[in-house]
Structure 1
Amino acid sequence: MKTNLVFRMAEKQAAEVVVLPREEDEEGKEPVLKNQFDLSVYDADTTDVDLTHTRADHIPDLSQFSKIEELRMRNNLLTMCSPTLTALSSLTSLDLYENQLTEISNLDSLVNLVSLDLSYNRIRQISGLDKLTKLEILYLVNNKIEKIENLDSLKQLQLLELGDNRIKTIENISHLVNLEQLFLGKNKIRQIEGVETLQKLRVLSIPGNRLVKIENIESLKDLQELYLSDQGLQDIHGVEKLSNLTLLDVANNEIKTFSGVEKLEALNDFWANDNKVESFSEVDLLSKLKDLQTVYLERNPFYFHDTNQYRRKVMLTLTQITQLDATMCRQPTSS
């Protein structure tokens, strides 16, 4: 009896045909089929519902799935977080990647949510997250957000991704002391600031911004990966105290010297291609890094001085590396 009831409820929410207005040159085309999902394929006790790429224009009533923990509705036509979400208090993961959402709403009842992905939408403001105190992962990539704000309640957050927005200032995150990964690439940020209290940070990614200086990160002792490519950095000073750094990406900047990098004894990867380093003697600084495995150095001025001998000279200087630019140069030494 319970199975039949679930089937009847799902049947009402099956795919519906929506006839859109036609232009003159669209005569004869088939009507667009929206909401191409069938909830009857899911058992009543399912924990995972995936309605990705079903041309859904609303979040259906899923209250019959009392044990649901994960809901994925990527690549759809949603314009709002439907009120039907309020019944899904058991959700731990909600993925609404690539829809047409303009605001964050109707999430207050999702008090068990751990992961939320609202990337590739049209959201202009971070809001409506106050009740999500268990949230650990938040993706807001490629929206229209201009300010980091309203994250006061998210003290359990471990990953925050705000890349490809319109953010100018790193602010209002100093209380996120459990944050381990912060991604702010492709924004309009001019200064590294407001991160000094993030002592658990392991990954800091700020490529494609407007930085000219590495600063205010000396206290991040656990930092392992730092991404600062594609902007206006003049040098590498500011990283010397990051003793646990294993990857440093400063490609495509205005850097003229590698001075400072030789103090990063744990470094495995150094990406510094497309900079302004003239002298090959700068490469000698890297020879002190015994754990260094991968370097990207091409298209610096010293590379163009002798492109035919470039690889040979680097390999002779850096006998410890296994990869030069995009190509393996020797087999890794077995430990």
Structure 2
Amino acid sequence: MSGAPSENEEENVEQNEAIQKNQFDLSTLKDDETVIDLTHSRADHIPDMTRFTKLEELSVRTNLLTSISENMLPLTTLVELDLYENQLTEIANLEPLVNLIKLDLSYNRLREISGISTLTKLVELYFVHNKISKIENLENQTQLKLLELGDNRIKVIENINHLENLEELYLGKNKLKCIENVENLKKLKLFSVPGNRFVKIENVDNLKNLEELYLSDQGLQNLEGIEELKKLRVLDVSNNEITTFSNIQLLENLEDFWANDNRVDSWPEIDKFAKLSQLDTIYLERNPIYNNDRTGYRRKVMMALPQLKQLDANLCSHPGL
């Protein structure tokens, strides 16, 4: 026998009705809110937010926005705007948001970078998983420290050499054939370009402050080109065509080295790591030296490199055994 709906059931009905109408409910929020999170509201537009004159952070993640409405124009106090995972096809109506420091437009349907020329204070800018084919229109973003353009359709690294404050650059899973036009990025600490089409490491000599370099899933055959990266702590070259670890011994600050799924079949290659005292993690599985001697592989590596704390996915609790 069914009775009257409970208070929770009535509340769920109201929420479902709001979702079906694709509207945000802002009625319970105070005028002086500084942070508003509208994630997963299934809304297809941004409502009038004029009354929030002190708003600093706005998240509209995972909704159904197809455009950025003029209701964004009054939000000049915003420093962070998150529009991750919507259905945006262009960037519009952001020009007055001149105080933005962080802007996330990842997982949308954008085909070009535009509409951000007035956002000169940006420090972090995200465009992951869009349909962008060219890096452009970043002339005024000289304060950027982080630029994320992974999983797009970019064929050339260009128009970023003026971003001299950049510390992190992500260009993984694009259609790049070579590393180029990065020589002025001397503050860069992290450079992530996995899943592209490189066959050699080049044009990174000037990146002397680089600490992390990610180059997995390409066609690299050796490590030539890394000689000047003396501050490198993390190097990922997994899933390539590498047969030799040439010049690896020059990276005296190396801590993490990922080279699983390559073509190293000579044990003397492992001896090149012996003098790297900071090295504590190395991945070598599924190389010929692993496949050809699975019984002795782990023992041999640990004996050659007693400084290791981790080999592949396992801790090295008893070096030499």
Q: Equivalent of 1:53, from 32, 40, 54?
A: 40
2:311 alignment partner AA: L
Deviation at 1:35, TM superposition (A): 2.9
Q: Residue 149 of structure 1 corresponds to which residue in structure 2?
A: 136
The SS at the match of 2:58 is strand
| Runs of 5+ consecutive residues of structure 1 not aligned to the other structure | 1-13, 19-31
Contact 1:322 1:331 in 2 (8 A): no
Q: Are 2:256 and 1:269 aligned?
A: yes
Deviations 1:72-93 (A, max 9, x none): 0101000011111010000000
4+ residue runs of structure 1 moved beyond 4 angstroms? Answer: 14-18
1:153-164 alignment runs, 5 A limit: 153-164=140-151
Q: Are 2:153 and 1:166 aligned?
A: yes
| Runs of 5+ consecutive residues of structure 2 not aligned to the other structure | 1-13
Identity %: 61
Deviations 1:210-260 (A, max 9, x none): 000100001111000000000101110101110100000000000000111
Q: Are 2:138 and 1:176 aligned?
A: no
User: Normalising to structure 1: TM-score of the pair?
Assistant: 0.89
Of residues 161-170 and 306-315 in structure 1, the stretch that sits farther from structure 2 once superposed is: 306-315
Q: Equivalent of 2:196, from 192, 203, 209?
A: 209
1:233-312 alignment runs, 5 A limit: 233-312=220-299
C-alpha distance in 1, partners of 2:318/2:299?
16
C-alpha distance in 2, partners of 1:15/1:49?
18
Deviations 1:77-124 (A, max 9, x none): 000111110100000000000000001111100000000000000000
Q: Residue 4 of structure 1 corresponds to which residue in structure 2?
A: none
The change in CA–CA distance for 1:316 and 1:78 in structure 2 (over 3 A counts) is same
Report the count of equivalent residues. Answer: 306
1:274 alignment partner AA: D
1:83 alignment partner AA: E
Contact 2:24 2:47 in 1 (8 A): no
Deviation at 1:330, TM superposition (A): 2.3
Q: Equivalent of 2:52, from 58, 65, 73?
A: 65
User: Normalising to structure 2: TM-score of the pair?
Assistant: 0.93
C-alpha distance in 1, partners of 2:63/2:88?
10
The SS at the match of 1:182 is strand
1:262 alignment partner AA: Q
Deviation at 1:63, TM superposition (A): 1.1
Q: Residue 96 of structure 2 corresponds to which residue in structure 1?
A: 109
Deviation at 1:327, TM superposition (A): 1.3
Of residues 241-250 and 323-332 in structure 1, the stretch that sits farther from structure 2 once superposed is: 323-332
Q: Equivalent of 1:224, from 180, 194, 211?
A: 211
Contact 1:15 1:36 in 2 (8 A): no
Q: Equivalent of 1:196, from 177, 183, 195?
A: 183
C-alpha distance in 2, partners of 1:43/1:316?
64
